[in-house]
């Protein structure tokens, strides 16, 4: 069975400071990993994915994530947060041979001006 844990319900940072949203996963094989963002009253938007290759992946809006196989983690990062980054962030994992995408519970990010 595959699963995702997002250990922090909320992350609060000041604008201009680095932002990190944590994610750890469990899957039987090599994982496909994803980050999605949800703005209020909107659907989920795809941010980035790790499939294979370089452990550091870059995505939309200046976000990046680092895949760490030994720690089974896929933390989302942004060097300098913006107020407009305030949203709900979801990490998700999928076994390459399965259709099922498993989501974490989500982390609410608040960036204060």
Q: How far is CA 109 from CA 31, 34, 69, 82, in A?
A: 25, 17, 25, 11
How far apart are the C-alpha atoms of 44 and 108, rounded to whole Å?
A: 13
Q: Does 52 bind other proteins (CB under 8 A)?
A: no
Beta-sheet pairing, 56-58 with 64-68 = antiparallel
46 part of the interface to other proteins, by CB under 8 A: yes
Task: Tell me the number of residues near other proteins by CB under 8 A.
Answer: 23
d(CA 69, CA 76): 15
Three-state DSSP at 101 gives: coil
> For other proteins, which is the closer residue by CB, 16 or 39?
39
Nearer to other proteins, 49 or 77 (CB): 49
Is residue 59 a contact residue for other proteins (CB under 8 A)? no
Contact window for other proteins (CB under 8 A) among 10-18, 21-29, 38-46, 63-71: 38-46
Please name the residue that has the structure tokens 């989920």: 44
In the complex, which residues of this chain contact other proteins (CB under 8 A)?
4, 9, 32, 34, 36, 41-46, 49, 51, 90, 96-97, 99-101, 103-106
């Amino acid at each position: 069975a595959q699963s995702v844990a997002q250990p922090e319900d909320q992350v609060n940072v000041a604008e201009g400071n680095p932002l990190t949203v944590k994610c750890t996963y469990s899957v039987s094989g090599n994982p496909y990993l994803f980050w999605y963002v949800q703005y209020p009253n909107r659907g989920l938007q795809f941010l980035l994915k790790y499939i294979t290759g370089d452990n550091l992946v870059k995505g939309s809006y200046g976000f990046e994530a680092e895949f760490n196989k030994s720690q089974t983690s896929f933390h989302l990062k942004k060097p300098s947060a913006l107020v407009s980054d305030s949203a709900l962030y979801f990490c998700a994992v999928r076994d390459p041979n399965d259709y099922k995408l498993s989501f974490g519970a989500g982390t609410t990010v608040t960036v204060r001006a």
